[in-house]
Chains A and B, each alone.
Chain A
Amino acid sequence: MATTPANDSAVRQRILATEREPLRVRAYVNVALGVVGVAFLFPIAWMVVLSFKSQAQITSMPPDLFSSFTLENYRSVLNIGVSYSSVSKASLMEIKSTEFLQGMLNTTVVSFFSVAISALVGIPAAYGLSRYKNALKDQLAFTFLSFRFVPQLLVIIPLYLIYQKIGLYGTYFGVIWASSLVSIPFVVWITRSYMDDIPLEIEEAALMDGHTRRDVFFRIILPLAKPGIAASIIISFIAVWNNFTFGFVLATTRLQPVTVKILSFYDITDMNYGRIAAAMMLATLPMILVSQVAAKYLVSGMSMGAVRK
């Protein structure tokens, strides 16, 4: 790494100091990151702990955190073997449990299909935009991008009115369709920037070998654009899964995603903190898993392909 040969011993010291991190620096970094870690991860840790505690343990003063843990919250949220008394409160909780599962189902379905539609339409579109550049296509590309930067409610409010008119309000199709607005910009932009990196000459070589354009797309472009496609699918899946506004306005109770459901569980007067923590955990765990498994795709996904390895 050092580029200049140093004759002066003081300069040599300085170079050596930057190459081998001294204990002083390492200790500082570790402590600082420890503080950062606590600050940013504390709420999540809190959420995890709460989800395994009973209401009594939580509301005692000081909160009883470490004695015993229970799976009661999860059981109740997932509606597994719930033992409830005939108290009206309990039956309220039961309704909410099935609602939660319904919410998880809705979120899964909507996320999956939105991303699927976006991929089916967006990946070929990205290819067309990448290879055949003209003013019109540029405009189209920027229009796709602008969907990411539009206030969601500006589209949702008219969509709400339109859906009521044409009968899409309260249908899976309506919510899926609207949520594609969130995923399509990711798919198109990220895939397009990765495809831009594929030299045109490789496609020409394939044509000279006698392959059809269809072959070129499936055998050459798709495999080489795989990292981009993966990044875009992952990040758009996360974006749709975590989305709130679309489900908030366009979904009937039956169709609400888990983000909206959890908001409805939040009732300052009557809330089981452990249960809501468990619900939050269940809603968040899939995304945490995705982030760890697909860690290397996250940055290029988050930056819409602007920062890619």
Chain B
Amino acid sequence: MTPQLHLDTLQALEEGERKQQLQIRRQRRPYTLIVLPGIVLTILFLIPFLWGIYLSLTGYRLNLPRQVFNWGANYRILFTSWYFWQSTFITFVYTAGAVAIEMVLGYYIATLLDHETVMSRIMRRLIVLPFMVAPIIGTLLLKLMLNNRFGVVNYLLGFAGLRNFPWAASSNTAMLTVVLVDVWIFTPFVVLILFAGKRGIAKDPIAAASVDGAGTIAVTRKVILPMMMPTVLIALIFRVIDSIIAFDIVWGMTGGGPGNATTVYSITGYVRAFLSLDVAKGTAVLVVAWLIVFLVSQQLVKQWNRARKRLA
């Protein structure tokens, strides 16, 4: 190191270094910089969301657009009103029914696809088709087909003596109908995810188990399913949440009816806000739906992480 630098040169060097350091410090936050637009976007989305929650705590109506804060009054009313609990029950039935059928059916079809046959190779490509149709469009299509006067399904059912099955027209069968539509559109989703998961698991433990003499059902329960747990949970998370917040299918098929037979949360929220003009109560219902989704998803994600760790 040269000891002979003159004082002013030293000063100049130091200044230069300082300037450079400032520049470099700015460069030092490259990651924060590129996330910035994302943060801006997030804030812009959070605003309506948070305002929605705020609205649920006021007495806002479309014909009385004044935000008078009334604390939890709406929620109190909600929790003591029949239509809210009915909606809760209906949402629960819808979710449980649709998810159960989709998961079981989806798993079954995924196993079928896991073989190498003519049909399996064809179906791997085609099974996704119902999922590609927009849910509202698919619903209208099925609505046409299920019409009890001129729908093709009832025409065919006529041969089995069920010519006048009411489908969406009767409150007894309306729930079954919307669940059926949900199953038609979303089982392929479950199939694809479970199929990919199945393809991803190691084959050796399965072979070892059958060499050890285990029958198919035991192998499935004790070997395959545990290995597929993360994938199963992923499919479960998506389907459960999407069912709780479902709107398109129910709106397209029955609009919530007949009567209140299919008023899931989102339908109740919409009807309250735009048809009863009670925005505050509408958003309140939706906030409750969101909270349920939040809690359920937290639990399921926890399970998912646990399942992944177990397999690591």
Contact = CB atoms under 8 A, between A and B. Distances in A.
Tell me if chains A and B make direct contact, with any CB pair below 8 A. yes
A205 interface: no
Contact of B245 (A36, A150, A263, A292): A150
Interface string B102-144: 0000000100110111111011011111111111111011111
B211 A154 contact: no
Interface stretch (B9-17, B69-77, B196-204): B196-204
Contact of A40 (B31, B127, B297): B127
A43 B138 contact: yes
Interface residues of B, number: 99
A2 interface: yes
Interface residues of A, number: 91
Interface stretch (B81-89, B171-179, B282-290): B282-290
A201 interface: no
A132 B32 CA distance: 8
Given A33-B119, A292-B125, A158 B134 contact: no
A158 B52 contact: yes
Given A21-B115, A149-B241, A4 B208 contact: yes
Interface in A265-285: 266, 273, 276-277, 280, 283-284
Contacts of B119: 29-30, 33-34, 37
Given A3-B207, A154-B287, A244-B248, A143 B46 contact: yes
Interface in A117-139: 120-122, 124-125, 127-129, 131-132, 137
Nearest to B31: A132
Interface of A: 1-4, 6, 11, 14-15, 18, 21, 25-26, 29-30, 32-34, 36-37, 40-41, 43-44, 46-47, 59, 62-63, 120-122, 124-125, 127-129, 131-132, 137, 140, 143-144, 146-147, 149-155, 157-159, 161-162, 180-181, 184, 188, 213, 238, 241-245, 249, 259, 262-263, 266, 273, 276-277, 280, 283-284, 287-288, 290-292, 295, 298-299, 302-303, 306-307, 309
Is the contact region of chain A dominated by helix, strand, or loop, or is it mixed?
helix
B234 A307 contact: yes
A70 B109 CA distance: 36
Contact of A30 (B55, B118, B269): B118
